[in-house]
Structures are given as structure tokens and as C-alpha cells.
Amino acid sequence: MVGIAYREGQRAWKRVFSLFVKAFLIGATLAATVGPITILYLRRAMTEGWRSGFFTALGAVTADAIYASIAAFSLSALSGFLISIQTPVRLIGGLFLLYIGYKTFRALPTERAANAGGSGLWGKYISTFFLTVTNPMTIILFAGIFTGSGLALTTEGEGCSLALVLGVVGGSLACATLLVTLGARLRTRITPRWMLWINRAAGVAICAFAVTTLWGLI
């Protein structure tokens, strides 16, 4: 009996670890996908430094962790509520994203020292968390990925669900940190003129994502 229980325990741990690795790869892939948040934290890493980019990325990862948890633990009531209010929430998020894009476009290279202060880091974290969490469609994305990849069929018990969430969050954070680090390293090679054009290009791209979000509500 002890031997059987031991083998069952080993199989369970292997299943959880395999689930974690697959979820980690999915999280890393999602973080590498070019979107408004990726552009935002890369731009901040390149123009304001590593900490600014990292705290921006961390805000997005925190919001992703919440939505991944809701999808993995099948909190259907909360999921349904978020989806039911998606129109006003996406409207607010789209407008805020448009504001962020405008501010990014207008930002001057000389502003980077003032924006990199300690108190500003948490402001970047909170604002990025708000931007990410105001997109209830994210939960549909995670639910679709978990189902389409077959991971949802293997989440038997809270241990597997937790491994799924930790894997996605770990992969997302690892990839985002790598991108932020690469962006920060490029910072020393970028002249103020290049920084100005980076701000403008990032601002236009973020505004384009905002317009797409708002257009989808029409």
C-alpha cells in the first residue's frame, strides 16, 4: 500500500510539474507578444531605466495573475460579472490608454530623470495594473488558451490549478524582465534625439491600440 501511494504521489508531482512547464511557456509567449503594454514598458526601460520598465511590467503581470486565477479556478460567477460589464470598463481603459499614448508622444528626453523617482515607480505599477485589469476580455483569452491547449483538462484539484497560474505568471514575468533588461541596456547607446523619436513612435503605437479598443465598442 505504501509503495502504491508513493508511486501515485510521484505521478501526481510529475503531472503538476509538467503542467507548470507548459503554463510557463504559454506565459512567456504571451509576454513576448507585441501589444500596448509591451511597448509601454520597453519604452520606459529604454528612456527611463530598468526599474521604471520593470515596475511597469510588474503591474501588467499582477493583473494577468488575477485573471489567470479566475480562469484556472473556474470562478464562473465572477467571470460572468466581469464579462457583463466589459463595455464600460473597456471604454474607461481605452480612454486611459489614449491618455497614456498622448503623454508618451509628448514626453521629452529631459523628463526621464524626474519620472524615474522612487514615488513614481509605484505610480507606474498602479497605472499599468489599471490598464491591464480594465480589459475583461483577458479572462476570455486565458480561458481559451487553457481550454485550447488542453491544460484545462489536466487541472484536477487545486494543486494543478495553482501550478497553472504560477506557471503562466512565472513565464510572463521572466519574459517581461528579459525584455526590460534588454531595453535598459540599449539605453546607454541611445542619444536624446533617438529617445525623442522612441517616445513619439511608442505614443503613436499606444494611441493606435487605444483607438482599436474604442472602435471595437461601436
- One DSSP character per residue, 100-167 reads HHHHHHH--GGGHHHHTSHHHHHHHHHHHHHHHHT-THHHHHHHHHHHHTTGGGG--SHHHHHHHHHH
Total number of domains in the chain: 1
pLDDT tens for the chain, 218 residues: list them: 545 544 555 666 777 788 888 889 888 877 777 678 888 888 888 888 899 999 999 999 998 888 888 777 765 555 566 666 667 767 877 787 788 778 778 776 644 433 433 458 888 899 889 888 877 667 666 766 665 555 554 545 556 778 888 888 999 999 999 999 998 888 777 666 776 777 788 788 878 877 887 787 76
Please list, in sequence order, all residues whose beta carbon lies within 8 angstroms of the beta carbon of residue 203, skipping any fewer than 6 positions away: 101, 102, 103, 104, 105, 106, 107
| Residue 202 domain flag | no
Q: Given its phi and psi angles, is residue 150 left (phi above 0), alpha (psi -120 to 50 degrees) or beta?
A: left
| Residue 164 domain flag | yes
d(CA 61, CA 76): 22
Q: Which residue has the cell 506557471?
A: 167
| Residue 67 domain flag | yes
| DSSP helix/strand/coil, 212 | helix
Q: What are the CA-CA distances from residue 90 to residues 13, 41, 210 (Å)?
A: 40, 21, 10
Q: What is the pLDDT of residue 125?
A: 92
- The neighbour count for residue 174, using CB atoms within 10 Å, is 15
| Residue 77 domain flag | yes
| Residue 210 domain flag | no
| Residue 181 domain flag | yes
| Residue 204 domain flag | no
Identify the burial level of 163 via C-beta atoms within 10 angstroms of its C-beta, where 0-12 means exposed, 13-18 middle and 19 or more buried: buried
Buried b (16+ CB within 10 A) or exposed e, 14-30: ebbeebbebbbebbbeb
8 A C-beta contact, residue 101 and residue 203: yes
Identify the burial level of 208 via C-beta atoms within 10 angstroms of its C-beta, where 0-12 means exposed, 13-18 middle and 19 or more buried: middle
Model pTM score: 0.71
Q: What is the pLDDT of residue 150?
A: 54
Q: Could you list the residue range(s) of the whole structural domain that residue 171 is in? A: 2-87+108-190
